Structure formats: C-alpha cells, structure tokens
Amino acid sequence: MMQRRTFVQSLSAAVLGQTVSFPRFDTSSENAVLKLGNAPVASMPLDFVGTSFEMPQLYNPDYYAASNASLVLAYRKLGANGVLRAGGHLSDVTRWEGPNGSFSTPKEEAGVEHGKTYWEWKLTDPSVRDTKNGAITPAAIRNLRGFLDATNWRLIYGLNFGCGSIERAVDEASYVAGVMGDRLIAFQLGNEDDQFGGMPFFRAKGFTFDKYYADYQAFVQAIRKAVPNARFGGPDVATNTDWVQSFAERQGNSATFLSSHFYAMGPAKDPSMDALFLLSPNARLANQIARIHQATAVSQQLPYRMTEGNSCFGGGKPEVSNAYVSALWGADYMLTCARAGFAGVHLHGGGDGFYTPIAVGPNLSTIIRPLYYGMQFASYFAGFDLYDCQIDQHCNLTTFFGRRGTKSLLALINKDSTDIVVNLPAQLHRQKGLSEIRLTGPSLNSLSGVVLKEHRSQSRASVAVPAYSAALLRWQ
C-alpha cells in the first residue's frame, strides 16, 4: 500500500533532513570536468513553475480556496509566482451553473453522462468523484480567486469545448474574467483537441485542424463580444505537434501562448516502464523541443507552455510516479524545458493519482509526494538566465547553470548508478558565499524518506554527486 504523509509531516522531514542512504549498484566512481558557455541561451520566467488539475475539482468549492491552509502553504513553497492550469480530460464533460443558468444542451448532457466513465475522476477528491454530479459554480470561482491571491499564483482556465455550447462558454468566460481580473492569463478551448475525432460525444470522425480552427474562431469571436480583452492560448494538443505549428502559422503572435502536452512514458501496464526507463534520455522530448522551436519561430516568438504532462500517462506508474525517482526526473525535466526556452511547465495531478505532486488526504489535507521536491529543486532557477554547460564524460548526469546579477546556480542531477565527482571551472570554485541543496532518497522506488535540504558549504574545486541524487550549488 502507498505510504502517505500529511504536508506538515513531509515538510518536517525536509527541514530536519533525516539521514538517508544512497543506492549503490556498484562501488565505482568517475571524475568529470564541467565546462560553461559564455552567453545565456534562455531565461526561466518567474512564473515558470505550474501545476494542472482536472476541472471538476472545482465542483468542491472548498478545495481551491484561501481557507484550505495546508494547500495554500504547499503552493507558496512550490513557487512564489506560479501558474495554475484548470483543464484536463474532464474539462470537456463539466457542467456550469452560473447566475444566468446552466446553458445546458442535449449534446452537453450526453457528454457529461459519458464522461462519468473516464478514469480521470481519480484525480479529484472523494466528495467529487463519489457522485460526479456537481457543477462549477460562482462560489467555486470566487474561492479560486481567493486561493490565487493567497498564493500569488495566476490562472489558465479551460472552457468546455468538447460538448459545451458557445452560449455557455460566453456566460462562463464572462463570469470568470470578471472575478479573476489580472489573475487570469488566458482561456483555453478544450483539452487534447487533436483527439476529438475519436470521441463521438465531442466531434465527428475526421476532425482536422481546419475544422478545429473554424470552431476556435467562432468561440473566440463570441466570447470577445462579451469580454473584449479576453486572451486565449493555443490548442492543448496531446501528441500532434503539427497542430501547434499550424496554429502558429494562422495566429502569428496574436494568441497569448502556444501549448501542448508531454508524458515521458507509458502505458503504466508495460513492464518496461520502470524507474531506469524514466531516467534514460528521452528522444520524444528532444523531438518535441525541436518542433516547438519551429512553431515559436513561425509565430514570431510566441511563448510556449507545456500545459499538461507528467512521468507516465494514464495516472502514473505505481512505485515510479509516486516514488523518489519521480523527483529526480521532475527536476531534470523542468530544467531541460527551461533551458530549451519554454515559458512554463505544468505537471498534472490531483486526488490520489500516482503521479500527482500534491495529493488529497482525509478532510482535504495536503499530502506531499516525492515529485513535489523535484519541482522545488527546479524552481530555484526562476528569474535566472540559463547557460549551456556540459561535462566531458559520457554518463547519465545532467548539468544546468544560471546567473542573475551577482548570483550563480549550478544544478548537477546524477541519474547514473555511479558516483560522479565534478571538477568545477576556476570561475566557480573561486566564488564566495557558497551553499548547497541536496535532493536525496533511500532508493529510486522509495515512497517516503525524500529529503531536500540546504546547508552552508566551503568553496572548493570539485563536488561529489552520489549515484541517483542531485546537488544544487548557490553562490551569492
């Protein structure tokens, strides 16, 4: 059974820094020399860190609320300027009960009923998943605004584009925009629209990008009549990055951002989807980065956000997605995306799904999962310029270097079974005011015992990074 801890217990473990042992697959070690680039290649925006949740979680207005103190604290410690994305597969089978009514249609009712068969309800709290009969209400929107104010986060809000009507979208968007004000970054229309053609409750077979774009324009034009300054993100595609390119070509830089999803592996039932697979180089990610660069160039440098993703699609792999390995993967993945120029990364979750960074416990208590610590590790780079850096050895250790003013950061993420000693360039080991943050865990598949701990350190010419651990060096 999955081991669970409340947020307070998890936080205490991180602060106290209990002793952990590193896994040893062999006793050898390697030495590597770090080389730094001379010019920044990207910057991590202050609001780079993000999460994503299934829209029906708003059926319970008390969850994303300022009164949910443990959740507010978790988000504050995750990032000072993050972005919450409300969407997910269930966003296209939600109900809206606004001041002017529900604007329900037979198509929406059929879609909502069919949507009760989706597995994603596991990503909502028990009060929502047990009935699946709620609705998004004005109270939920007002409480969500209070939550955003309490955490200093902002919002991307997904509208029901799958089975919802234009009339409903106009009414819902008008209310949301009025309540959210400058906390609202943009609306998105639909979730994984590139797969709608295989979902008869959403669209007919053969749903192409051209058909999507015609529907998109109809929704946008109607909403902007009621909310003239409404902003919109690009299609939230699942896998077809051709849609991202096509949207960029049609929209230029008139949208707020481009977007798509990324899950590192799957399906979970495949026995080869294990911890070592998750930590191995991912060709699909490299391909996605290349395609995103093409699309952003076509759109005159429109920002790109990875608006939904995680370690393993379908809710995650037990003892991988909810284990220490997910922390190493998450830190590496987020920093790789930041150095590639992404404007943000939103890791999906909620409820008690295996891959969620923040799970829901009894009475809406907050349970911190290992992935959360990897996100925290990466978030230290918010506001920093990122530089190319590499080591001269062929091992599974990734390096990330950032500067902001007189401050420097160096992340060394050892995904290898071998301890690695990294020799630092003179320009770093001569700097003063060094502190270290270490990310450690008992074993890759451990569900507990993950530690993210900071301590003072002495300037030196090299740093040892044990197998399956990460080090973050900070110079003031």
Give me the pLDDT at residue 52, please. Answer: 98
Give the CATH number of domain 46-382. 3.20.20.80
Give me the pLDDT at residue 151, please. Answer: 98
Domain boundaries, the chain: 19-42+386-475, 46-382
Residue 158's DSSP bridge partners are 188
Distances (CA, A) of 231 to 187, 223, 253, 427: 6, 10, 12, 44
Give the pTM.
0.93
* Blockwise average pLDDT, block size 10, the chain, 476 residues: 30 32 48 95 98 98 98 97 98 98 97 97 97 97 98 98 98 98 98 96 96 97 98 96 96 92 96 97 96 94 96 96 98 98 98 98 96 98 97 94 96 97 92 92 98 89 96 94
Give me the pLDDT at residue 28, please. Answer: 57
DSSP readout, 340-402?
TT-SEEEEEE-TT-TT-SEEE-GGG-EEE-HHHHHHHHHHTTTT-EEEEEEESS-SSEEEEEE
In angstroms, the CA 26 to CA 30 distance is 12
Give me the pLDDT at residue 379, please. Answer: 98
Give me the pLDDT at residue 30, please. Answer: 83
Give the CATH number of domain 19-42+386-475. 2.60.40.1180
Tell me the backbone φ, ψ of residue 474, rounded to 5 degrees.
-125, 125
In angstroms, the CA 96 to CA 138 distance is 9
Give me the pLDDT at residue 344, please. Answer: 98
